[in-house]
Amino acid sequence: MSQTVKTQRKQSAFYSLLKESLYGGEIDYTIGSIRRSVILLAIPMVLEMILESVFALVDLYFVGHLHNSSYAIQTVGLTESVLTVIYSLAIGISMAATAVVARRIGEKDPVAAAKAGMQAILIALAINTFISIVGLVFATNILLWMGASPEVAQRGTPFMQIMMGSSIFIMLLFLINGIFRGAGNAAIAMKSLWVANAANIILCPVFINGFGPIPAFGLTGAALATTIGRGLGVAYQIYHLANGKSILKVFASHFIPDWEQIKSLVKIASPAVLQFVIASCSWIFLAQLVATTGGDHGSAGYQTALRLLMFFMLPAWGLSNAASTLVGQNLGAQQVQRAEDSVIKTAKYNVIFMAVITVLSLAGARLFVSFFTNDPQIQEVAVQAIRFMSLGYIFYGIGMVLINAFNGAGDTWTPTWVNLFGFWLFQIPLAYFLAKTMELGPTGVFIAIPISETSITLASVVLFRKGKWKKIKV
């Protein structure tokens, strides 16, 4: 009987914690149980990361059912590739905002935190003014430059113009969510994406196929739906910033440019942007290497394996995001040891998660791949890729936590240098040597990925233990 009571109490405590994490609110993460802090932050952050990936999938699904859908699918894919640049900028500025806001919250200075967040928004507005103009004027040229045929470029121009012209919504979704995460309210970030995705899912078929008095816009309708969805998500964020109920009290004076503050934010954001660009470009190079050595089947198998890799990585990345807020707030509160302990605790949870995923990937690779393709040749390549890459999953999980710990401390240069050396001076040469010189083809690339990712993580562990990140001033 006593055992049953204990089990019921544990279940009740878990559901209470789950409810609190989803309900939201600013929480002081500089006190109390570290385990509880990690869970409160991780649950909404995991859900947020999964929701962020839904936009492109929804667009691809609906435009894939259009008549002569090949041009539409190509346009969506090429546009997403261009938007990667905007994602890089958004993530970089978001990382800077999270680091500075979390530090000020830890110092118990919410006024300075709010001001820092609004200065980051000013930076985003300035950058996106330029991006929007370029997208509106040169949309056709950009599609042609990306390899689209003249017919695809002509048909896809309105889609590209809308998506790039409204890029401010992409930037603000990332940025304001970063501000809320820094303040310790990850649930608002998650809920803003609930709003955005719900609107996109409802509006996509309406604007693409038409409904009642609304005409069928086809491919352009997907852009309209996504833009409106993201716009509503941003409106939800702004409402919670402006309603006065948040720990971040926003005033008009916070939007007066503070050039020292802006300079400080740019200093943190610039290498953070570079981090993402370095990693993204290295994966593009590896994809090209697989395509040139493995042909169509090799390339398709590798891309299938990457879809599964990213599916499993998103929850791990969301969990690792908790380290960023915990480090920032605890360093601000001068609790350096608690900041370090928070990183270690988060890493342990990620290791457990990735260990489970490793077992599932090794045992169920063929089953997972069968959901994506029936081609036996593609399946063979994908299964081989998954089994090789999954050998490094545990190290991937640790590496994600350490990257977010460095960024949360404002030490964005350390992971940038690690990525530069790890990806471009080790992973790519190793993959090229194994694939071409040793004539292993795609298998050489698959082998190089876990070796290099493990090396990157080990280097990050050494740098984390050295503790330079503890002394960064933001």
Residue 115 has pLDDT above 80, yes or no: yes
472 vs 61, more confident: 472
From 57-66, 218-227, 341-350, 451-460, the region with the lowest mean pLDDT: 57-66
375 vs 465, more confident: 465
User: 71 and 63 in contact (C-beta within 8 Å)?
Assistant: no
Mean pLDDT of 375-383: 85
Q: At 69, is the pLDDT very low, low, confident or very high (cuts 50, 70, 90)?
A: low
Tokens of 249: 């009290």
Tens-place pLDDT, residues 279-329: 877 877 888 788 888 887 787 788 778 777 877 787 888 888 889 989 999
CA distances from 274 to 110, 239, 263 (A): 29, 31, 17
Mean pLDDT of 416-422: 93
Q: Would you state the pLDDT for residue 18?
A: 73
Tens-place pLDDT, residues 120-139: 999 999 998 998 999 899 98
State how far the Cα of 319 lies from the Cα of 312, in Å rounded to an integer: 12
CA distances from 200 to 71, 225, 237 (A): 21, 5, 17
Residue 445 has pLDDT above 70, yes or no: yes
Tokens of 282: 């290295």
Amino acid at 430: L
Tens-place pLDDT, residues 16-33: 767 777 776 667 788 888
132 contacts: CB under 8 Å, gap ≥ 6:
164, 165, 166, 167, 168
State how far the Cα of 255 lies from the Cα of 241, in Å rounded to an integer: 13
**pTM score, whole prediction:** 0.81
Residue 180 has pLDDT above 80, yes or no: yes
Residue with tokens 């005033």: 251
Q: At 13, is the pLDDT very low, low, confident or very high (cuts 50, 70, 90)?
A: low
Best CA proximity match to 366, nearest among 339, 342, 384, 347: 384
Q: Would you state the pLDDT for residue 24?
A: 65
Best CA proximity match to 201, nearest among 189, 193, 213, 212: 193
Residue 103 has pLDDT above 70, yes or no: yes
State how far the Cα of 118 lies from the Cα of 112, in Å rounded to an integer: 10
- Residues present in the chain in total: 474
337 vs 65, more confident: 337
